[in-house]
Amino acid sequence: MSVELPADGTAAQGLRERKKERTRRTIREEAFRLFREQGYTETTIEQIAAAAEVSPSTFFRYFPTKEQLVLADDLDPLMIDAIRAQPRDTAPLTAFRNAVAEVFSKLPPAELAFEQERQALVYHVPELRAAIGLEMQRGVDLMASLLAEHVGRDPEDFEVRVTAGAIAGIALGLSPLAPLNAENLSRALDFLEAGLPLGKQ
C-alpha cells in the first residue's frame, strides 16, 4: 500500500524540524556531560561540537554562545501553552499553579533531571551567575505578558508587573536551595497566595 505525501512538503518540513531538534538536544546533552566530567569553564565549544559530531559553525546555528546553551529554558514554551490553556476566569496564581502541575506531570524524569542540573549550573558557575539578572528580567517580562493576556490588562500595568515579579522571584529564591519541581513550586505559590505570612518560628 503506497502512502501519498502532502504536495506542500509538510512531511519533509516536519522531518527537518525533528532532525533539528535532535541535533539541538544532542549538542546540549554532550555539553552537559562534558561539564560534569571536566567543568564548565574548562569545556570549549570545539570540544562540545566534536562530542556532538557537528561542526562549530553548526553549534553556533543553535546557540550563539556557550552561556546561552545553559541559559536556554526549554520549559518556557510548555509553560506558555499551559497557561494560555487555562480558563480566563481562573485566578492568575491558580492558573500558574495549574500550568506548573500540568507541565511537570508530563515531563519525563530525564528531562526533569536535566532542567534541575541546568538550574544548578546557572546558580553555581560564576560565569553564569552574572547572567541571572538578565534572565530574571526576561522572566518578569514573559510572565507579565502572559498575566496581562490572562486577565485582559496591559503588560506594563503596575499590578501586573508586581505580580509577574513575585512569580518570577519564586524560581530565583528556590534555585540555590531546593530542586525545581512541581511540589516546591506549588508550595511557594501557596505561600505567595497566602500573602507571604512570614512570622517568627
Q: What is the set of domains in the chain, with CATH numbers?
A: 9-64 (1.10.10.60), 73-196 (1.10.357.10)
Residue-level pLDDT at 3: 44
DSSP-derived secondary structure letter, 54? -
Q: Model confidence over 55-74: pLDDT tens digits?
A: 999 999 999 999 999 999 99
Quick one: angle between helices 109-124 and 10-38, nearest 10? Answer: 50
Res. 5 pLDDT band, cuts 50 70 90: very low
Q: Model confidence over 148-197: pLDDT tens digits?
A: 999 999 999 999 999 999 999 988 888 777 888 899 999 999 999 999 89
Separation of alpha carbons 11 and 120, rounded Å: 38
Separation of alpha carbons 91 and 177, rounded Å: 28
Residue-level pLDDT at 200: 62
pLDDT at 4 over 60: no
Q: Model confidence over 12-39: pLDDT tens digits?
A: 778 889 999 999 999 999 999 999 999 9
Sequence-distant contacts of 190-194: CB under 8 A, at least 24 apart: 192/93, 192/166, 192/167, 193/93, 193/94
Is residue 33 within 8 A of residue 52, CB to CB? The reply is: no
- CB neighbour list of residue 68: distance below 8 Å, 6 or more residues apart: none
pTM over 0.85: no
Q: Model confidence over 125-153: pLDDT tens digits?
A: 988 988 888 888 999 999 999 999 999 99
